[in-house]
Structure 1
């Protein structure tokens, strides 16, 4: 009986040891499998997202830049296309009397070597020898202005009109010069006035200006 119980006890003890070793091994294996991928997955997931975001953010900047540059160039071209005072010569044409009116063409000629444009009404003011303005600013005659393109040497004109002082009875003065300011410019061009007295006050003293059009007169 004693010999039979010892082998059985050893067998049970060995079985318990094997089972315990298997349990410890299994626990160690689970710990390695669940933790190892965690640090390796995070960089793989983050890197593609960062790269895609940068590419997506860069693309609109590359597309927008040429558009802005083109817009600025276009705006600059429109601004530079206007005729400036320094590029023009002004003159007063011969009087065209009619129906109690005195009508004069104010002519602006392009003296530059480039093509430029004029649009709208010129400014005009009669002045005396001291440079003081005589009378109010001319009124603008109703019109639908159009852009006038002047190649080098070409001209545009606007009509300066007022009632003959001998007929209207307006108070008059004799200017020394007429200051002509091109549209959208600040500096005037001085033109010697040789056509006698002009109305500067009283009834029927208004002077009118028409919009610029191509040519040197009607």
Structure 2
């Protein structure tokens, strides 16, 4: 048996204690080595997003009336594009108001009458008067339609012809009137065959429905020489 001095045994004991203390310290610092291999999860990685843009849950539907989110790869709409769409669709309130007040007069909004004859140089001249009977401002532009009819409703003579003239837009506030001339040669002068109408049908410009007015102007030409009846464009007022 080899004799070991006490000092040598004490040194060996101290060295062993230091080694054990070192292992315990390493474990306390979390430097444990794992023997198991890393786990890999399958799936698709989410795309990277700008940190300044809040994330959107794709499973949550958009609120009614809100624009849909653009799909991946689609460019975001620009302010200029939005403005162009607004102009194209006419969403401006002022434009809508202008269009509403500038519409033409409809047959149901008008009252018709025939003014007094103003004969001259073998011609008979009657003003056809349309009055705005509605509560809104409307317009008339161009020629009226007209037809003489019998008591049974049959048309007498051909459709009137239009005289040359430039059409202007006549604006009628409630209660205001416009007139168009109806003229024909005096049958006693022209020798045309005549008939005595019971009524005159007047159709406003660009309308299909007519207004019926009792005819008190006597006989009118319906065929033969100089039997044409002529109409003029509307002008403001109720008489020339």
Where 1:175 maps in the other structure, the secondary structure is coil
Corresponding residue number in structure 2 for 1:54:
75
Corresponding residue number in structure 2 for 1:198:
220
Q: What is the CA deviation profile of residues 151-173 of structure 1, one whole-angstrom value per residue up to 9, with x for unaligned ones?
A: 01000000000000000000100
Cα distance between partner residues in 1 of 2:125 and 2:92: 43
Corresponding residue number in structure 1 for 2:84:
64
Corresponding residue number in structure 2 for 1:134:
156
Q: What is the CA deviation profile of residues 19-78 of structure 1, one whole-angstrom value per residue up to 9, with x for unaligned ones?
A: xxxxxxxxxxxxxxxxxxxx99x9459xx9x778431x4656532332113389649926
Q: What is the CA deviation profile of residues 63-97 of structure 1, one whole-angstrom value per residue up to 9, with x for unaligned ones?
A: 23321133896499269611000110000000001
Where 1:70 maps in the other structure, the secondary structure is coil
Counterparts in 2 of 1:66 and 1:214: CA distance versus 1, 3 Å: same
Q: Which runs of 4+ in 1 moved over 4 A?
A: 42-45, 58-61, 71-76
Where 2:91 maps in the other structure, the secondary structure is helix
Higher helix share: 1
Corresponding residue number in structure 1 for 2:194:
172
Unaligned runs of 5+ in 2: 1-43, 54-70
TM-score (norm 1): 0.72
Higher relative contact order, chain-length normalized (CA < 8 Å, sep 6+): 1
Cα distance between partner residues in 2 of 1:177 and 1:162: 16
Corresponding residue number in structure 1 for 2:146:
124
Equivalences for residues 98-113 of structure 1 within 5 A: 98-113=120-135
Where 2:75 maps in the other structure, the secondary structure is helix
Aligned residues: 177
Aligned alpha-carbon RMSD (Å): 3.0
Cα distance between partner residues in 1 of 2:79 and 2:143: 47
